[in-house]
Every structure is written in structure tokens, then in C-alpha cells.
Amino acid sequence: MDPDSEVDFDLSPYLIRYKSGRVRRLVGTSRVSAGTDAATGVTSKDVVIDAGTGTGAGLAARLFIPANALGEPATRLPLLVYFHGGVFAVHSAFSPAHTRLLNALVSAAGAVAVSVEYRLAPEHPVPAAYDDAWAALTWAVASCAGQGPEPWLAAHGDASRLFVAGDSAGGNIAHNVTLRAGMSGGALPGGARIEGMVLMHPYFRGEARLPSEGTDPRALQTSRRIWSLVCAGRYGLDHPCINPLAMPAKDWAALGCRRAMVTVAELDSMRDRGRRYVEALRGSAWDGEEAVLYETDGAGHVYFLEKHGGGGGGKVEKEMAAIAAFMASSSQASTGCHAKL
């Protein structure tokens, strides 16, 4: 039988890997060009961060900037480094859904954003995504100081107001990058520190089931299969990179951000992991100032990526506004108390 057509691993509805190593992705393959968004006025462009990383164009990103910023050379904006979701294996920073989301978020927050096109599993198993995310983060911070060729970031990026964010697997990546930033040897250029971390419906799992995950043993088996594929069997389901709840309270001290926000949705099976994450953070040795939980009723996992926002009702706009408010409150929080709210 032809190894290019013989199935090795069927991970429908996401992808199928064949004996030859060929991967056929079943979702998240569409792309949209950068440009100016008619609805928000946000302008985007694509850049190459490292031509020697990955395949094709190398490590790349899509940059987003609000409509009024390009004509104001003295305007400095918060820097948001964003990681898309897709179980580490599908979707793209260049997808219609994530381009639409970043347009909305940049418009609401008034930030300049770097949406990272990291390498995908299973061709590039975890920790490749973490390494690419770190490389993109350090590149973005350095570019804000004029240490790179990127004019938007040099002219408008403010690395003293640095945020990382991501949805689903991208939220997992944001968490792990923030841990790396806080660990010894993980210093960012110029001594920059992550002001805020936003995990939107983060993709976390674990061997012990939480109430929102149900009790069906097949669901646990599916979680194990997915994670084993995307990390090439390197880590178990209770490894801290996929299950932060397995970390001792003292280890949370390494989380290198001053403030944190986690968003969850009522109908998402991973809802309780997001809730427990905030609880663990608040009760840990982390020395941050604020851990915020934002919940959306009547919505499912990453509903905000749907073209009509999971049925309307202004849910997407409200979540974008909540994230924008979290980002905008950084200056007030820096002069406030050190309570974990």
C-alpha cells in the first residue's frame, strides 16, 4: 500500500497523518491577505522574523496597527504579542478568523499587535511552538527599541506596556512563554517585563477530570491522543506545560507577568481548567498584582472566532472591551495595591 495514502494517525476533525509523514489538515487552511480592514480601519502587514526558521517563509508574523496611529509618528502604543489557537496543529496567524479577531482586538485596545505564525505540529512537535513564540516575543521587544528593521514597532511599539495573549492552544503558549520570561536566563531585551498576560479559553488538560470535562473515559483518551501527537510523546498529560494545575504553589513564582487575565465560556469543556488556573494563581507564590477571570454565558470554546460571534448578543464586543479595559488599566494598577483580585 502507498505510504502516502495509508493512514498513520487519524485526528479528525483536525488532521490526518499518513505513513509517509504527509499531513492533511481538515480545518484552518484558508488564508486572507493583509491590508486595511473596512470595519475597524485597522491596517495589517506580514513580516518575516527569521527566514531560517521553519519552512517556506520561515518564522513570520502579521502586524496590526490602529487606523489613526500611522499618521502620528510620535504615538506610542501598548505592544501585544498574540498566539493563535488550533491544538498546536491547525490554523494560522493569516487565517480569516484570526485576522478578524486581531482587527477587533487592536481596534478596541488601541495597541500594535504581532500575531505569530509559529510552526505547527505534528511536523514540528511541541516545544517548537514555544521556541518560536519566544523568538517572536524577543524580536518584537527588540524592534520597539529600534534594534531591528521593523518600522511600525520602532515608531509605535511601547515595550514598557508589553502584553502577551492567545486563544486555546495560543493561550497555552502565552502561559508557557510568560513562565520562560520569569525564569533565570529568560530575560527579555532591555530588561522588559510582561505587563499583562491574557489567556482566552486556554488549552490545558490533565489526567484528573474536572467537572466541566465530564466523566466519559473516551474524552480522556482523546485528550491523551491529541497531546501525544502534538508533542511526539515527549510529555504526559500532567506535565506542567499542558497542566499548570500540577505545579506546586511555589513554582508559580516564575510566572513573569505583573497582571493576568483568563477568559472562559460556559459551554466550553475546558472552562473549569481556566477557573482553577485563576484560583491557583491567586493562592500561589506568584508576586503579581492582579488575576482576573472573565466568563461568558451561553457560549462555547473560542466562540469569538466564529464569523457571527457565537450567535450574536454582543458577546464578542463585550469580551474585546473587557480585554481592552484590562490592558488600559496597567498604568492605574502600577500605582495600586498588590492584592490578587
Concatenate the DSSP letters of all residues of 258-322 into one string.
Answer: EEEEEEEETT-TTHHHHHHHHHHHHTSS---SEEEEEEETT--TTGGGSTTTTT-TTHHHHHHHH
- Mean pLDDT, residues 130-143: 96
Exposure string of 293-314, with b = 16+ CB inside 10 Å and e = fewer, is bbebeebbbbbbbbeebbeeee
One of 84, 91, 98, 301 is an active-site residue; which one?
Answer: 301
268 assigned to active site? yes
User: Catalytic one among 107, 115, 143, 168?
Assistant: 168
Strands 112-117 and 43-50: unpaired
% of the chain beyond a pLDDT of 70: 93
pLDDT band at 53 (very low <50, low <70, confident <90, very high): low
User: What is the mean pLDDT of the segment spanning 114-142?
Assistant: 97
Average pLDDT over residues 228-233: 97
Judge whether residue 70 has pLDDT over 90: no
pLDDT of res. 2: 86
Q: How far apart are CA 308 and CA 77, in angstroms?
A: 29
pLDDT value for 146 = 83
Report which of 85, 117, 91, 107 is spatially closest to residue 36, judged by C-alpha positions.
107
Please check whether residue 322 is in contact with residue 294, taking contact to mean a CB–CB distance below 8 angstroms: yes
pLDDT tens for 191-228 read 999 999 999 999 999 999 999 999 999 999 999 999 99
Q: Does residue 118 register a pLDDT over 90?
A: yes
Whether residue 249 is predicted with pLDDT greater than 80 in this model: the reply is yes
Q: What is the CA radius of gyration of the chain?
A: 19
pLDDT, greater one: 335 or 58: 58
Flag whether pLDDT at 333 surpasses 80.
no
Task: State yes or no: pLDDT of 55 exceeds 70.
Answer: no
pLDDT in tens, 292-310: 999 999 999 999 999 876 6
C-alpha cell at 80: 501585544
Residue-level pLDDT at 75: 86
Active site residue 168: yes
Please name the residues in contact with 208: beta carbons below 8 A apart, sequence gap of 6 or more: none
pLDDT at 214: 95
Segment 145-191, tens digit of pLDDT: 887 779 999 999 999 999 999 999 999 999 999 999 999 656 899 99
Confidence of residue 74 (pLDDT cuts 50, 70, 90): confident
Q: What pLDDT band is residue 335 in, cutting at 50, 70 and 90?
A: very low
Q: Cα angle at 174 between 265 and 168, to 5 degrees?
A: 35
Mean pLDDT of all residues in the chain?
A: 92
Phi and psi based region of residue 195 (left: phi greater than 0; alpha: psi -120 to 50; beta: remaining): alpha
State what percent of residues in the chain have pLDDT above 90: 84
Catalytic residue among 37, 132, 167, 268: 268
Based on the residue annotation, tell me whether 10 is a catalytic residue of this protein. no
Q: Which helix (H) or strand (E) holds 167?
A: strand 157-167
Q: Are strands 15-18 and 7-11 parallel, antiparallel or unpaired?
A: antiparallel
Paired with 295 in beta bridges are 264
23-51 burial code (b ≥16 CB/10 A, e <16): bebeebeeeeeeeebeebebbbeebebee
| pLDDT beyond 70 at 11 | yes
Nearest to 174 by CA among 318, 274, 249, 317: 274
> What global pTM score does this model have?
0.94
Mean pLDDT of 57-71: 89
Looking at the predicted structure, is the pLDDT value of residue 264 above 70? yes
